[in-house]
Amino acid sequence: MNWTSFLEGGIEIFGQAVIAIIAFIIAKSIGNKIIKTGFTKMQEQKDISLGRVKTLEKLALNAFSYVLIFVFITIVISIFGLDATGLIAGAGIIGLAIGFGAQGLVSDVVTGFFILLERQIDVGDYVTASGLDGIVEEVGLRTTLIRGFDGTLHFIPNRNISSVSNHSRGNMRALVDMSISYDDNIDEAVKVMQAVCDRIATEDERIVEGPNVVGVQSLGDSDVVLRIVAKTVNMEQWAVERTLRKELKEALDANGIEIPFPHQVYIEKKNA
Contact indicator for 154, 145 with CB cutoff of 8 Å:
yes
Nearer to its own copies, 43 or 249 (CB): 249
List all residues 6 or more positions away from 203 whose beta carbon is below 8 Å from its beta carbon.
none
| Nearest approach, Cβ of residue 48 and its own copies (Å) | 13
The single residue among 3, 47, 90, 256 that binds its own copies, judged by CB under 8 A, is 90
CA 149 – CA 142 distance, rounded (Å) = 23
With binding defined as CB under 8 A, does residue 106 bind its own copies?
A: yes
With binding defined as CB under 8 A, does residue 25 bind its own copies?
A: no
Contact indicator for 144, 115 with CB cutoff of 8 Å:
yes
Angle at 20 between CA 18 and CA 23, to 5 degrees: 110
- Taking alpha carbons only, the member of 219, 170, 26, 56 closest to residue 122 is 56
Binding mask 233-262 for its own copies (x = CB under 8 A): -x--x-x--xx-xx--xx--------xxxx
Q: 262: which DSSP letter?
A: P
CA 221 – CA 264 distance, rounded (Å) = 9
Nearer to its own copies, 151 or 256 (CB): 151
Contact region with its own copies (CB under 8 A), list: 17-25, 40-48, 96-104, 197-205: 96-104
Binding residues among 53-82 for its own copies as defined by CB under 8 A: 69-71, 74-75
| Nearest approach, Cβ of residue 125 and its own copies (Å) | 10
Nearer to its own copies, 198 or 250 (CB): 250
With binding defined as CB under 8 A, does residue 271 bind its own copies?
A: yes
- Identity of the residue numbered 177: D
* CA 207 to each of CA 38, 195, 229, 245: distance values in angstroms, whole numbers, following the listed order: 38, 15, 11, 15
With binding defined as CB under 8 A, does residue 18 bind its own copies?
A: no
With binding defined as CB under 8 A, does residue 172 bind its own copies?
A: yes
Nearer to its own copies, 30 or 153 (CB): 153
With binding defined as CB under 8 A, does residue 265 bind its own copies?
A: yes
Binding mask 189-218 for its own copies (x = CB under 8 A): -------------------------xxxxx
| Nearest approach, Cβ of residue 256 and its own copies (Å) | 13
Nearer to its own copies, 85 or 171 (CB): 171
Buried b / exposed e across 19-35, counting CB within 10 Å, b at 16+? Answer: ebeeebeeebeebeeeb
CA 24 – CA 42 distance, rounded (Å) = 27
Binding residues among 122-151 for its own copies as defined by CB under 8 A: 128, 130, 132, 140, 142-143, 147-151
How many Cα atoms within 13 Å fall on the side-chain side of residue 63?
13
